[in-house]
Each structure stands twice: as C-alpha cells, then as structure tokens.
Structure 1
Amino acid sequence: MEKPRFRAALLYPRYWPTWLLFGFWFLVAQLPYRWQLGLGRVLGRLMLRLAPARRTIAERNLVLCLPELSAAERADLLRRNFESNGIALMETGMAWFRSSRWLRKRFTIEGLEYLREPQSRGQGVVLMAMHFTTLELGAAFMAMCHKVDGMYRPHKNPVYDYMQRKGRERHGEDSEVYQRKDVRGMLRALKRGRAVWYAPDQDYGIKQGVFAPLFGIPAATVTGTSRFARVGRALVVPYTTTRVDDGCGYRVKIYPPIEEIPSGDELKDAILVNQFVEARIRENPAQYMWVHRRFKTRPEGEPNVYEGVRKKKKKRRKNRR
C-alpha cells in the first residue's frame, strides 16, 4: 500500500474542524507526561458519565467475564478502566506527535529475541497483539525496535485517515501497511519472512471464525491467526504493552512463540488464542478494552448479551448524479 500523500482537497473548509482537532491534540501531546496521564484520567471519568452505551457494554462484559468480583470491586474496576481509556487518547497523541527519542525514554522491552531469532533465518512472524488501551502506543514502541508491517482500516474522514496513517508509519522504517481485507498481501509478506502485526481478539462475526470459549463464554473468534501461520509458514509471537502503575512509563513484553499453532484444527487454535488472551487480561484487567462488544455474535438460540444498548446509527450515503 503506497505511503499517505497530502492532497489540496484536504484543506476544504468542511475539514477545518478536523484540522483544529488535530492541532489541539498536537499541543496536548507536548505537555509533560504525568500531566497527560492526569488529563486522561479526568477525561475517562467524564466518559464514564457521558457515554452510557459504552458504560453499559463494559459493565455487562465485566459481569460475564469476572463474576467472582463483588459489585463494589466491579464498580472500582469499571472506573479505573474508563480512566485507562481516557489515558489511551493521550497516548495516541504521544505515538503520533512525539519524537522517537522522547518515546524511547518511556518504555522497556523484554523478549525481543523471540521476534529476532525466527526473522534472522527468514521465517515470517504473526506478531499477535491484543486490544488493551495501550494498543496504539505499544505498536509505536514495537516499530522502533523491529521492522513490523501493520494492518490498517481506512477512516471515513480523509483528514483523519491521512493523519492516522502518518502517525502510525512515522516510527517504522521500510514498514508496509495492509488493509484489513488484504489477506493475500499479508500472506505474501509472511512468506517473505516479514513480521506482521495482527490482533485477533475482537468479534468480526462468525463468517470467518468459530465459536471458542473466552472466560467460559462462546465467543466468535477469527481463524486468521491459524490460517496466517499455516499458509504463511509463520510463527505466532504474542506481545503486550503494560502501563506501569507508578507513572514512570511502559513495559513491553514479547512472549515465546505459541508453537502449537497451527495444529491443523482451527477450533483448537482459536481456543489456544483465547486462552492466551484471557490469561493476559486477568493479569491486567483495568487496561483491557471492555467497551467493545466482544460477545455481540451469539450461537443460535443464545440471548443478545447487549440487549437494550443503543447502537450507533450508520449514515446513509445519498447517490449523487
């Protein structure tokens, strides 16, 4: 996919509010790190009050996945989780607008040998990420330490799309970006021995997936991890990025390859993926993105987990002649 290019059409008046938003975001990203953490927490508390649909989704996910917690413990976890989501907006600005030199001072990384070793012998790697709130910043950290290709979902707003791609690609030299539907492009990259970033822990429906247990609940789980490893002759190497509680930065941990994948059984592989994801969430539940509808696709006859939660309406495009 070619590099993002600036076009004069991006300066049309209808895009001026988006440019103002990015200008403000850039200025906020220049604030001292701890100030940004504080602002993020305040923003997260506002989101908890002003985003009832997302709050309800997170509440139901927590009840389903962590029933052993008391009501008070879940309420405290929900508050900390929304604070983490607010901080994530600050961290996106850090990833897109701060220098690599500034960012390098704020993270440590362990397990890089698990990524470098297969790459040194020309084997592709599925770099398996998970949807923690540190996702955007974690991807920037990885790009600074190793050549990693990424997946990309175009944004409807062309200015946001341009800035998003510029922000995500600025830390990685010679990295390539593939649209989420470009399966062939990803497979070619893996066969060439490249590392490709991939996050399989969201509900994309059952058309390209299977129902595999997550916290004991049947969850629609994409089989892409298994297929990429099998067809691309690649290893599955997971990693996580954790925001350290004392506010001193982040810890990036790369885990040993999940060598059982591919097993030849996509359901078995999906179960292995979900077991790994669940273990990491239990280690750090406050920083996981509970606001996503992880269980929106249900087995036949199973009730809707998010019944009554208002869905975001999609704007219909009028045909222009």
Structure 2
Amino acid sequence: MTQYKSKFDTSIKAKHFHPKYWGTWCLLFLLFIFSYCPVRLRDRFAAGVANFIYSKKFLNKRKKIAFTNLSLCFPEYTEEDKDLLMRKNIKALAQITLSLGELFWRSQEHILNRTNITGEQYIIDAEKQGKSIIFLGPHCYGVDFAGVAGINARGYPLSSMFNDYKNPIFDWFVTTYRTRFNDAMGKGTLYHRSEGLKPVIKSLRDKAHFYYLPDEDHGRKESLFTDFYGTQKATLPIIGRLAKLGRAVVIPFYTSYNDKTAKYDITFHAPIEGIPSADELTDTQLMNQAIEKLIDEDRSQYMWTLKLLKTRPTVGEKIYK
C-alpha cells in the first residue's frame, strides 16, 4: 500500500532566516548545547530554574488551570497536595524540555540508552500476529521521548498527528525529530490534525502503528461525556472505529522522567480487551479508564495545565475564569 504523505510542508526556507526568527534560532542553539551537557548537571540546572519560576506571575494562569483540573478530578486533594504536585510538575517540564535537543541531534544509540522500557513484548506479540497497534497515551511531558526513543528508534514504524506551532522553525524542528527514523523503515508519517482520520486508517492498514493522545477537549459537538476521575470529560468517541477500520490492537503506555536514574521510564501495557465493541460509549469509557490507570503511574508528570475539562456537561458552565 502506498504510504500517505501529509500535504503540510514543514521544511526550512530562506525566508525563515529573517531577523524575526533569530530568537527562535537562538533557543534551538541552546537546546543543541544542552543536548551535549552532562545529564545530571543539566537536570540540576533545570530543577533550579523550575524552583525559581514557580512563583512568577507569568505562570499564574497555567497554575490556576491546573489547580482547577486537580480540584475536579481529585476533590480529596488539599491546596498543599496540589501545590506539591505542581512543583514536581514544573520541575519535570523543565528537565524534559532541556532534553528535547537530544532527539534531534544525538545518535540513535544515545537516545535508546536514555530510556528504560517495560512491556515491549506486547508490541512484539502484536506484530507477530500481524496486527497494527494504536499506542494509547495521555498528554504527559515525555510524549516525544516515548514516540521517538521508545517506539520509532527501536524499529517500529510510527505515524502520528501534529498541530502546528504557528512558528515554522519549531514546526521544522519537532516534525523532523519525530520522523527521523521512518525513512529507514519505508513507512510511517506525520500529518496535521486538520487532515482527519483517513491517513490514520491508511497508515494502520499498512502496518505503520499510530501514536494516539486522546485526552484533549475537542468540544461538545463531536464528543461523548464519560467518567474521568471525580468528574466527567468530553471525549472523542473514535477509538473503537480506529481499531476496527485499522485492524489494530490498542496498547496503553505511559512515560515519565526519572531524575534518580536520569532516564525515561516507558511502560507498555497489555492490549485493552473489549475494544472495539459494538458501542462507542463503551469503547470510550474503556479508553478513559485505561488513561486514568496510566496517569496514576505518575500524576505529577501529566499536563494538568491543559484545559482538559473546558466542555462541561452543563451547557454554559465555565470553570476556567
């Protein structure tokens, strides 16, 4: 089968060296330097930065969103509980952000050595059975290391979606490292969310696995409300359709950065039983239950700063004020 190719062009052009982009190029140069720094030294620096910025005003909006999410999901949490979790959250964000240059500039051997993998046998078994895989993961900060170092660099062809950053330099940087190992396998691609599900299904049928992060809020029109911890969440009910049409199994996984070992812990779990079923709501509930179990592996590294619960069961209710 011919591999689907995205119509979005994220390559670098001469115009991208205009002075208005020099700040972005400087940031990438810093990531280049950090990618070759001793990891533990860089981690200590990132932890110091996180501690310094935690109380700064520019973080207040995101922290308020996170505290709102945590209050709805875990009503038993005290303010101190939420504050402690978010301090760990910002620390992990800083450490992971400063490591992203490794995915672009460092060798395949290097980035493989930056991960501890558990449960890879589930991937091997699925491939032996001739199944494509939907890798189901929540929005944790280590998502890029999971896709590149945990899956793609290990020889598993992978497709996924992207949202552009409205900055062509970042688009080029991110899409390049996310696809750097696909050419060697001759399959797998990256395409824009606006292109819909057709490329997902084509890729899955061509045995290019799909990296799926389903936990963003896409609005009321296309979503179903299902339980999510102590509240309800608007969720796209497409996991069963993707599994059926793509002839795929759904393997949940989670990634967290372990600053004690200075490596990424990536855990793959057994395929979710019951997906696809004959009912979209059942499939969606099974998916969210799996997502909860994954987040519970390390709640402090989930992206609580996203507006995960913006669409509420009660029309007109606004929680992010």
Q: When the two structures are superposed, what TM-score results if normalisation uses the length of structure 1?
A: 0.89
Aligned-residue Cα RMSD (Å) equals 1.9
Contact preservation (8 Å) 1:42, 1:86 = no
Closer, same or farther in 2 for the Cα pair 1:214/1:47, shift >3 Å?
farther
Query: Identity, % of aligned pairs?
Result: 28
- For 1:237, what is the secondary structure of its paired residue? strand
- 1:167 equivalent to 2:173? Answer no
**Following the alignment from structure 2 to structure 1, what is the Cα–Cα distance between the partners of residues 71 and 230?**
12
For residues 177-216 of structure 1, the aligned pairs below 5 Å read: 177-182=190-195, 183-216=197-230
Q: Where does 1:1-321 land on structure 2 (aligned, <5 Å)?
A: 1=5, 4-50=10-56, 51-141=59-149, 142-145=151-154, 146-172=156-182, 173=184, 174=186, 175-182=188-195, 183-301=197-315, 303-307=317-321
Rounded to whole Å, the distance in 2 between the matches of 1:275 and 1:302 is 27
Report Cα offsets for 1:300-320 as digits up to 9, x if no partner: 34632212xxxxxxxxxxxxx
Contact 2:108 2:153 in 1 (8 A): yes
Assess, with a 3 A threshold, how the Cα gap between structure 1 residues 208 and 96 changes in structure 2: closer, same or farther. farther
SS at match of 1:275: helix
- Structure 1 CA distance, aligned partners of 2:296 and 2:162? 28
TM-fit CA distance, 1:296: 0.5
For 2:279 and 2:53, the matched residues in 1 are separated by 41
Deviation of 1:257 (Å): 0.7
Post-superposition CA distance 1:107-137 (Å, at most 9, x none): 1212222122222343221111211111121
Note the C-alpha offset of 1:255: 0.9
Q: CA deviation at 1:16?
A: 1.9
CA distance in 2, matches of 1:117, 1:215: 31
Q: State the alpha-carbon separation in 1 of the partners of residues 53 and 202 from structure 2.
A: 41
Which ranges of structure 1 fall in alignment gaps of 5 or more residues?
A: 308-321
Cα distance in 2 for partners of 1:30, 1:286 equals 27
Structure 2 Cα separation of the partners of residues 206 and 301 of structure 1 = 9
CA distance in structure 1 between the partners assigned to 2:218 and 2:52 by the alignment: 29
Q: Structure 1 residues 178, 282: CA separation in 2 closer, same or farther (over 3 Å shift)?
A: same
Counterpart Cα distance in 2 of 1:247 and 1:60? 32
Counterpart code for 2:175: R
Letter matched to residue 191 of structure 1: R
Question: Aligned equivalents of 2:316 and 2:51: distance in 1?
Answer: 33
Letter in 2 for 1:59: F
Corresponding residue pairs, total: 307
Q: Name stretches of at least 5 consecutive residues in structure 2 with no aligned partner.
A: none
